[in-house]
């Protein structure tokens, strides 16, 4: 299925979906050397974003989060792509400078997407190609 959204950062990225019910802070929330989420209490704590299509509602935290996304990209541990319900400047800037394809405004909560499903984000076209069924609303 193709889900239309708004393109934020150009490029195409594919991988397994990693879906978060909670916002993500890249500053102090994600280790830029490993790509592992380290924020205590976060639903994805201990999981790696590297090579994943990372779907989360929106970012949170400091503007330094943009640099962390860039560092993840430089270190080879960035997400393959990012999907947000609503992009905000910190994540959008990080995706652009890190060359991480990104879209938002897909018309449904990211929690309707199933973890582990194969997905491709085309940031230029503003689309998410999703190989699974949508989960029920929670």
CATH number assigned to the domain comprising residue 50: 3.50.30.10
Position 70 in a domain? yes
- pLDDT band for position 36 (50/70/90)? very high
- pLDDT band for position 61 (50/70/90)? confident
Position 23 in a domain? yes
Position 138 in a domain? no
Long-range contacts of 69-72 (CB under 8 A, 24+ apart): 69/26, 69/94, 69/95, 69/97, 69/98, 69/100, 70/94, 70/97, 70/98, 71/32, 72/26, 72/30, 72/32, 72/35, 72/98
Range of the domain at 61: 2-130
Position 137 in a domain? no
Position 135 in a domain? no
- pLDDT tens digits, residue range 63-101? 899 999 999 999 999 999 999 999 999 999 999 999 999
Residue among 20, 48, 62, 66 flagged as catalytic:
62
In the chain, the number of structural domains is 1
Tell me what pLDDT residue 103 has.
98
Q: Is 62 a catalytic residue?
A: yes
- pLDDT tens digits, residue range 113-137? 999 999 999 999 999 999 999 999 8
Residue with the larger pLDDT of the pair 62 and 78: 78
What's the predicted TM-score (pTM) here?
Answer: 0.96
Position 136 in a domain? no
Tell me what pLDDT residue 138 has.
67
């Amino acid at each position: 299925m193709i889900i239309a959204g708004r393109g934020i950062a150009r490029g195409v990225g594919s991988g397994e979906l990693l879906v978060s019910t909670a916002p993500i802070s890249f500053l102090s929330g994600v280790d830029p050397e490993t790509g592992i989420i380290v924020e205590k209490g976060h639903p994805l704590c201990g999981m790696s974003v590297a090579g994943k299509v990372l779907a989360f509602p929106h970012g949170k935290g400091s503007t330094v989060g943009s640099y962390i996304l860039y560092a993840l990209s430089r270190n080879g541990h960035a997400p393959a792509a990012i999907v947000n319900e609503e992009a905000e400047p910190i994540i959008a800037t990080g995706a652009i400078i890190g060359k991480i394809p990104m879209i938002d405004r897909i018309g449904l909560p990211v929690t309707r997407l199933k973890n582990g499903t194969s997905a491709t984000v085309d940031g230029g076209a503003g689309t998410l190609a999703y190989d699974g069924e949508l989960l029920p609303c929670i």
